[in-house]
């Protein structure tokens, strides 16, 4: 299932180009949703993780908590999301859940072959969401600043990839140092 996006290859590459040049905003992300990653320009885990990281940076620039996520199915980015605690006063829209909500309802068979990219190790709520919908694969930007119950994902047979990404670590470290109270609230401390 693809939501929006160009259908021809030239258009896809143009959109990729545009995405690379822009810092990213909600409008751009929503414009970008459904753009296929086929064509050799994008397609690896680091590239897709960058979608999640850019979403996190959008959240940070809005004054929010910089955690972002992207859902990829069959080399297609279906959507992205970022933590909305500050922006929307939401207690349940973390990067991962905001991403899934932005993408909308999907059949179970689509979730099974999807990969959820997240800049930070998923918390218990987001881990539960992954388990509930049977998302097949989770790529984690980093688990250094926070580590959720990743063993639950592994026990459920979900493939977990740890990227240990320096940019994700720096982004979160910087934020936790500047706003410890906001971060503690987000993880229930
Ligand atoms: Zn979470």
Which letter does DSSP use for residue 39 in this model? T
pLDDT < 50 regions, the chain: 1-42
- Confidence at residue 188, expressed as pLDDT on a 0 to 100 scale: 87
Question: Which of 167, 71, 75, 78 has its CA nearest to residue 115?
Answer: 71
For the stretch 163-187, pLDDT in tens is: 999 999 999 999 999 999 999 998 8
> Catalytic residue at 96?
yes
Distance 121 CA to ligand 1 centre (A): 8
- Confidence at residue 43, expressed as pLDDT on a 0 to 100 scale: 52
Question: Which of 112, 80, 110, 117 has its CA nearest to residue 1?
Answer: 110
Distance 80 CA to ligand 1 centre (A): 14
Residues with CB under 5 A from ligand 1 (ion): 94, 123, 125-126
Q: Scanning the structure block, which residue is given the tokens 């997240």?
A: 118
């Amino acid at each position: 299932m693809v939501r929006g996006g160009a259908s021809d290859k030239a258009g896809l590459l143009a959109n990729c180009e545009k995405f690379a040049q822009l810092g990213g905003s909600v409008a751009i992300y929503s414009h970008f949703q459904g753009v296929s990653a086929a064509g050799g320009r994008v397609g690896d885990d680091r590239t897709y993780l960058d979608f999640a990281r850019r979403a996190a940076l959008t959240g940070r620039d809005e004054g929010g908590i910089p955690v972002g996520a992207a859902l990829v199915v069959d080399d297609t980015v279906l959507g992205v999301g970022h933590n909305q605690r500050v922006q929307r006063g939401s207690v349940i829209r973390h990067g991962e859940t905001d991403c899934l909500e932005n993408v909308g309802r999907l059949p179970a068979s689509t979730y099974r072959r999807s990969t959820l990219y997240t800049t930070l190790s998923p918390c218990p709520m987001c881990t539960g969401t992954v388990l509930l919908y049977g998302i097949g694969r989770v790529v984690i930007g980093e688990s250094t600043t926070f580590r959720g119950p990743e063993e639950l994902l592994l026990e459920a047979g979900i493939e977990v990839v740890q990227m240990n990404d320096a940019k994700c670590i720096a982004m979160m470290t910087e934020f936790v140092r500047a706003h410890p109270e906001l971060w503690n609230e987000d993880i229930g401390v």
